[in-house]
Amino acid sequence: MKFEKIPNISVDCVVFGYDINTKSLNVLVMKRYLESKTGTDVLVDDYVLTGYHVYEHETLDGCATRVLKELTGLTNQYKKQFKAFGNPDRLTNEKDLIWIENEGFNLRTITIAYYFLLKTEDVDLKNNKHQEKWFPIKELPELGFDHRKIILEAYEDLKVKCLSEPVIFKLLPDKFTINEVQELYQSILGVDFDNRNFRRKLIKKKYIIPLDEKQVGVSKKPAQLYMFSKDVYEKMFQKNYLISI
């Protein structure tokens, strides 16, 4: 009973992972692969988001959390439900139809899409039975179903979100430098900021707390490390109602 699937509802997860070393915002996708019955040719060979049907007694949020856990082993990561996709033509290209016939999917499936924010390095892809793989958001592979669209809409939502809330720190290690924050903003938004102004602005915030620590193992002047205090942020945060239209 607990494991009965709702036939036409799924949850798809866009897993964003930031790689602080390569300074790349990545998306985790898995292989979709199907050979013909004779084995003579490959019918479907592309990537898809990780998703799953919702169980009868499962919440939507719970389903997203489960999908992430099965994929990465991680729990307690930042997630956001950002949109439902359910147009009747969302699964109508040739490869999708072959796949759907093979898997016995319902043709009219509505998917509730979530995105997660985490660190690429936190995910262990050693025993990845589904050939999961990270791709930079700017270099996505061929994607099945409407998953390219879903990823790009998640990315747009993330861009807006990171301007108004400090979600950026979900993508960074606990201890970071000011320049690392700047690089991540630039990587997400695709624009450059003046380092001196960016630095001044960030350091001024009470919830960006300098640590008694510096970078180690760098071959130049080591940078000051900072942390983000959720406590301070939430305590001092009063909505400023700045109308910026």
Partner DNA sequence: TTTATAAACGTCATAAATACGTTTATTTTT
Partner DNA sequence: AAAAATAAACGTATTTATGACGTTTATAAA
Site for DNA, rule CB under 7 A = 177-179, 194-197, 199-201, 203-204, 214, 218-224, 240, 242, 244
Considering CB distances under 5 to 8 angstroms, the limit depending on partner class, which of DNA, its own copies, none binds residue 205? its own copies
The reply to whether 201 sits near its own copies by the rule CB under 8 A is yes
For DNA, the closer of residues 72 and 187 by Cβ is 187
- Shortest distance, position 190 Cβ to DNA, whole Å: 16
Q: Are strands 208-214 and 110-119 parallel, antiparallel or unpaired?
A: unpaired
- Residue 222 interacts with which of its own copies, DNA, none, CB < 5 to 8 Å by class: DNA
- Tokens at residue 219, please? 């071959």
Under rule CB under 8 A, residue 195 binds its own copies = no
220, interface contact from DNA, its own copies, none, CB < 5-8 Å by kind = DNA
- Residue 166 found at the interface with its own copies (CB under 8 A): yes
From the list its own copies, DNA, none, which binds 218 (C-beta under 5 to 8 Å, kind-based)? DNA
Tell me the C-alpha distance between 119 and 20, whole Å: 8
Measure the CA–CA gap between 33 and 96, rounded to whole angstroms. Answer: 11
CA 73 to each of CA 3, 58, 128, 144: distance values in angstroms, whole numbers, following the listed order: 20, 19, 11, 24
Cα 78 from Cα 98, distance rounded (Å): 34
Pick 57 or 214: Cβ nearer its own copies: 57
Q: Which stretch binds its own copies (CB under 8 A): 23-31, 149-157, 183-191, 213-221?
A: 183-191
Instruction: Give 161-170 contacts, CB < 8 A, sequence gap 24+.
Output: 161/80, 162/188, 162/189, 163/189, 166/207, 166/228, 166/233, 167/78, 167/117, 169/228, 170/77, 170/78, 170/117, 170/118
Residues 27, 112, 171, 225: which binds its own copies (CB under 8 A)?
112
What distance in Å separates the CA atoms of residue 89 and residue 157, rounded to the nearest whole number? 23
Contact residues: its own copies, CB under 8 A: 6, 8-9, 54, 56-61, 81, 83-88, 108, 110, 112, 160, 162-166, 168, 185, 189, 191, 193, 201, 205, 241-245
